[in-house]
């Protein structure tokens, strides 16, 4: 229970930060792939000084060959997740895309079970309940139809599943690499790899990465500070304490957080289905947080993680700047 108390402030910050992407996208007039490139590139640049300080403190020259392989796998997987899932939204319904891409926790749990590290029964229950909650939210959000049919549901659904698998690979790779590297050192390098991969994809696909208006650049800055640094980076930090199954389960709360922020900022009341699905998702996340970490990488405690957890514990109960 003490681990839950220490990490809960970070969990809340990470979920709300990742959820803020839905708000910031509304102000950004740019292709989704370009937004993904800039948030990963910006995150890598802003984390570089912290990564350098961490290297000086540890007295190491940097990641070894094994770490670099894990970082490369994680970075490419993150780029694949962004590109395939965003592409799926153009080909299939939002409900199908979101529901399928949130199967990442199930894929991770099945993967750990396949290698003999079977998660506890409560984890399977939490994943199942959370997936039902997400399905209710997304299906309810798109139920009042009347619009045109998706152009290619089969391909779109397949891309969403690839996006889920890529997210699972990203988190599992991070889980393993994070056991021997500070969060900033791992995240800065993984984001840089993702940015390079996304830049290559943009070049091949003919996607323009420049020439946006002032509002779009401000939104991109918000994505770097919010969803990328306070969101993904804190989730990477939590991998060391909670494990990849639990962290991926936290991501299932993103539709709930996004709906809450849109409600507060744009006065858009969520559909009735959200009030049914959201308690299921949040209850499942709470159940998983009380379950011992499944598949967590064993390794030295990250000084950055300890410092942030202590800061979060001291700051619990009062609002403060995220990240």
163-217 confidence digits (pLDDT tens): 999 999 999 999 888 777 888 999 999 999 999 999 999 999 999 999 999 999 9
pLDDT band at 300 (very low <50, low <70, confident <90, very high): very low
> Looking at per-residue confidence, does 145 or 108 come out higher?
108
DSSP codes joined into one string, 58-106: HT--S--HHHHHHHHHHHHHHHHHHHHHHHHHTTS-HHHHHHHHTTHHH
pLDDT band at 320 (very low <50, low <70, confident <90, very high): very low
Contacts of 218 (CB under 8 A, 6+ apart): 27
- Domain residues of the chain, as ranges? 2-142+152-293
Look up the pTM and report it: 0.82
88-108 confidence digits (pLDDT tens): 888 887 778 888 888 999 999
Residue 129 has pLDDT above 90, yes or no: yes
Contacts of 321 (CB under 8 A, 6+ apart): none
Q: Are 76 and 40 in contact (CB under 8 A)?
A: no
Count Cβ atoms within 10 A of the Cβ of residue 121 and give its class: 0-12 exposed, 13-18 middle, 19 or more buried. Answer: exposed
Please give the pLDDT value at position 147.
52
Q: Are 155 and 90 in contact (CB under 8 A)?
A: no
**Torsion angle, CA of 218/219/225/226, rounded to 10 degrees?**
150
């Amino acid at each position: 229970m003490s681990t839950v108390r220490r990490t809960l402030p970070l969990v809340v910050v990470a979920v709300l930060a990742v959820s803020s992407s839905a708000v910031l996208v509304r102000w950004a007039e740019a292709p989704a792939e370009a937004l993904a490139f800039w948030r990963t590139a910006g995150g890598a640049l802003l984390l570089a000084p912290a990564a350098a300080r961490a290297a000086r403190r540890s007295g190491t020259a940097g990641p070894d060959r094994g770490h670099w392989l894990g970082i490369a796998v994680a970075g490419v997987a993150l780029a694949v997740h962004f590109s395939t899932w965003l592409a799926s939204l153009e080909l299939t319904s939002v409900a199908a895309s979101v529901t399928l891409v949130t199967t990442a926790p199930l894929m991770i749990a099945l993967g750990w079970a396949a290698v003999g590290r079977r998660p506890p029964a409560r984890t399977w229950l939490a994943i199942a309940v959370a997936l039902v909650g997400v399905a209710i939210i997304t299906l309810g959000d798109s139920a009042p139809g009347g619009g045109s049919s998706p152009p290619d549901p089969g391909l779109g659904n397949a891309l969403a599943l690839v996006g889920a698998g890529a997210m699972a690979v990203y988190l599992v790779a991070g889980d393993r690499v994070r056991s021997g590297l500070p969060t900033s050192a791992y995240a800065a390098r993984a984001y840089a790899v993702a940015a390079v991969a996304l830049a290559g994809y943009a070049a091949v696909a003919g996607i323009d990465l420049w020439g946006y208006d002032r509002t779009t650049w401000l939104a991109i800055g918000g994505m770097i500070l919010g969803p990328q640094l306070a969101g993904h980076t804190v989730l990477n930090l939590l991998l060391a304490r909670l494990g990849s199954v639990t962290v991926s389960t936290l991501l299932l709360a993103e539709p709930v957080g996004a709906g809450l922020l849109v409600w507060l900022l744009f006065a858009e009341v969520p559909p009735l289905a959200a009030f049914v699905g959201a308690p299921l998702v949040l209850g499942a996340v709470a159940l998983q947080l009380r379950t011992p970490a499944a598949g967590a990488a064993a390794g030295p405690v990250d000084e950055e993680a300890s410092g942030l957890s202590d800061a979060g514990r001291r700051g619990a109960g009062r609002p403060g700047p995220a990240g």
